[in-house]
Amino acid sequence: MGNALARLREIAQENRGQRQPSLFDFSPLDVDKISADMELEYHGTERGKAGEPLTSSNSLDSVEREIVDKIQSFQQQAVEQLTEQLSICSERLRRLQFDSMVIDVKSETTATVADFEQEGRNGLNTLFQLRRQLIDATDALERFKKAHNIHRPAHEKPNALYTWLILSTVFLVETLANAGLIGAAHESGYVGAYTLAISLSFINVISGFSAGYFGLRSAYHNETSHKLWGFAVVGGYLAGIFVFNLYIAHVRDAMQSGGLQEALNQVWSKVWTFSFDFHDYQAPLMLLIGIAFSLVAFYKGFKNDDPYPDYGRQSRLRDDTEAIYADTAAELGDHLTALRDEIKKILQNVAAELGFRRTEYFDIMSTIEKLISRFRAHERHLESSAQRLLNVYREANKKARTKGQPKHFKREFKLDGSHVESPNVDDIYPKDTVESLINEAKDLINKSIEDIDGAHQAAFKRFDLISQILDKSRLEEVVIAQAEEEGINVGS
């Protein structure tokens, strides 16, 4: 998609900033200054006193020739300036490159439209795959519900961070409570008490959470084998956690009169007889704390997912698949819309560039005409300036003469016009050809914009059609039919 679009973007920007400065002006002559610099009145008076040129003279004398030569040098400078300006205009015309630009516009707009249509096809392939996965996940969930006689939505799984925060809090509180109760009686003091308390809390919390998650949820299963296994796990957990904490309570009680090893040797007989004969309140308090916090973990384990085993996972799989499909469909739609808008903007910029070049073309033609016109006006200015300079010299000469003036003094000076070859615009880019090329390119751009809009609408229709299909066989029939009709190669 990027190559053709990038080249169109370059076309739209490549000629900006190349407009030339304002039209060149030929500088007028300062006749008075030239007359003073050449000392025309002085030379006219001196030569007039000497009777030069002769009254019979019919050609320019040396001073008049110098005046004419000076004016012709100004004329030559103007010719060089005009030639340079016309050369710049010719280069500006060639740089417009109408023919190559139109060829590039044709090829790149065609490629861009084709690339955009392919983007729509790629999106269709992606949605087809995801829609099929969603249908499979939905069918699997429905089969699971039917097989297990479930007629309700799955319970929402609690936030994992929240669950672990509660379990960590239970673990920490029980650890601190047990360490406080054991510390006074433990032979290693509170250091040993904390070590033992961490182990006890870990066993209570982990066993409670595991029994709730695996055992109690299995007891909700419809199948008898799963149900019996679940009740067995729950019963074993309740009995085990009671015996375990009763044992720990008697150990704590026995540690009052001896060390840890001695306490371990004394308590088994009391545990087997389920004796609740304690020396003080701290041992039974440990029993209650251990069982209570383990039951909290047991409850959190049961509530950590839907009560029916595997139903929560199946439901989440289906929901996650649907969310992925919905997000992908939205992203593909947004991507196509943004791409369509970008392409249309670039195409509009290309059209504007064509208009810019057309304006530039006619501006150059006008510039050439104005340059020639100003040059001819400048030549007339040079001619009149030459006449004025000759008149200054001749008037001074006539006043100083004692005899009549030379014959050629009465003739008006005529400056021979210079031949400057103007660029042949028709040889570079004929006007009709320029108009034809620009109109052809603009028509193609407008057609491409329509094609982009059409492809965008067609892609969204295909996306919407797939989004409405809930049956896998129907989905494949629709996509295969579209593939045969439009040449779309969908994934299998």
Give the integer Cα–Cα distance in Å for 83 and 420. 7
> Three-class SS of residue 281?
coil
Q: What is the mean pLDDT of each run of 10 residues along the chain (492 residues)?
A: 69 56 74 91 89 85 91 91 86 78 82 87 88 90 90 84 82 75 56 72 88 89 89 92 81 62 59 67 79 88 88 91 92 92 88 83 85 90 92 89 84 85 70 81 88 90 83 73 59 44
Question: What are the Cα distances from residue 96, in Å, to 363, 383, 434, 474?
Answer: 12, 38, 10, 56
Going from N- to C-terminal start, the domains of the chain cover 2-9+29-120+321-486, 160-304
Give the integer Cα–Cα distance in Å for 94 and 83. 17
pLDDT at 492: 42
Q: Are 137 and 321 contacting, i.e. CB atoms less than 8 angstroms apart? A: yes
Q: Are 385 and 29 contacting, i.e. CB atoms less than 8 angstroms apart? A: yes
**φ, ψ at 243 (rounded to 5°):** -65, -45
Spell out the SS3 assignment of 135-159.
Answer: HHHHHHHHHHHHHCCCCCCCCCCCC
For the chain, the farthest-separated pair of C-alpha atoms sits apart, in whole angstroms, at 166
Q: Are 155 and 306 contacting, i.e. CB atoms less than 8 angstroms apart? A: yes
Q: Are 300 and 166 contacting, i.e. CB atoms less than 8 angstroms apart? A: yes
User: What sign has the CA pseudo-torsion 228, 231, 232, 233?
Assistant: positive
The string of DSSP letters for 34-58 reads HHHHHTHHHHHHHHHHTT-S-TT--
pLDDT at 491: 47
- Given its phi and psi angles, is residue 487 left (phi above 0), alpha (psi -120 to 50 degrees) or beta? left
Give the integer Cα–Cα distance in Å for 179 and 37. 117
Whole-structure pTM value: 0.65
Give the integer Cα–Cα distance in Å for 316 and 87. 75
Question: What are the Cα distances from residue 130, in Å, to 322, 457, 466, 470?
Answer: 9, 21, 10, 12
pLDDT at 128: 87
415: nearest Cα among 372, 373, 376, 380: 380
29: nearest Cα among 65, 59, 60, 73: 73
State pLDDT tens for residues 352-373. 888 888 888 888 888 888 888 8
Mean of pLDDT over the chain = 82
Q: How many C-beta atoms lie closer than 10 Å to residue 452's C-beta?
A: 21
